[in-house]
Homo-oligomer: A and B are copies of this chain.
Amino acid sequence: MTGFDEAFRNELRELIRWRRDVRRFRRDPLPPGTVERLIELASLAPSVGLSQPWRFVLVEDAARRAAVRANFERSNADALAAYAGERAQRYACLKLAGLDEAPVQLAVFADRGTAQGHGLGRRTMPEMAEYSAVMAIHTLWLVARAEGLGLGWVSILDRADVIRALDVPPEWIFLGYFCLGYPQIETLTPELEREGWEQRRPWQDFVLRR
């Protein structure tokens, strides 16, 4: 039986509604053990065949952080160059990462090659390894936000360069680089919506019946 009541469900909905991708961080460090506690909970996420294919890499070295930052600068300049006119101007004004301020930074990878799980559920869909690791990321995101912490997902990166910069096995699949820390501001509206980049559509737009 479930022990969850309507009060909890309301707060869970509020957390989901309020979550946000945070890109503006205070520089204050997190209390020791915080990220480890979040990763411990993330490791309870669903995983195909109980394979736990997520790999968390805490990036602490200044030179490695600088390499990731340079990778982001290059990738973001390439992205900007692909836009034109007003859209390019808007893109140039967006703040897309908190790499300079976030006290904790981590990369997450998926290991398709893991023997754990004995391949169950991955035969027709090997990508289930990545999907499992993404659910661990999302778990970490929610528990971080419930503690008042912010998380931002940086995907504007060259994957092979990240693997080289962090010296991890080349067969791991890079899923994202994450900034974690105390947010400067909180808002119910996604930053991309506030900045006029895109608007959320109603859920009915994404549902078909068959």
Contacts and interface: CB of A to CB of B under 8 A. Distances in A.
Interface of A: 1-4, 8-9, 11-17, 19, 21, 36, 39-46, 48-52, 54-61, 64, 75, 78-79, 82-83, 87, 91, 94, 96, 116-125, 127-128, 130-131, 134-135, 137-139, 141-143, 145-148, 153, 155-159, 166-168, 175-176, 186, 190, 192-193, 197-203, 205-210
Contacts of A41: 13, 16
Report how many copies the assembly holds: 2
A153 to B, nearest CB: 7
Contacts of A205: 52
25 contacts: A1-B148, A2-B145, A4-B11, A4-B145, A4-B146, A12-B146, A19-B46, A39-B203, A42-B203, A43-B203, A50-B197, A52-B205, A55-B208, A57-B208, A58-B209, A94-B120, A116-B198, A118-B198, A120-B192, A123-B156, A124-B158, A131-B131, A134-B138, A138-B138, A168-B208
A2 B186 contact: yes
A203 B146 CA distance: 20
A16 to B, nearest CB: 5
A202 B36 CA distance: 12
Contact of A130 (B123, B131, B153, B197): B131
A40 B201 CA distance: 11
Contact of A2 (B60, B119, B146, B155): B146
Contacts of A155: 48, 121-122, 124-125, 128
Contacts of A159: 124-125
A52 B9 contact: no
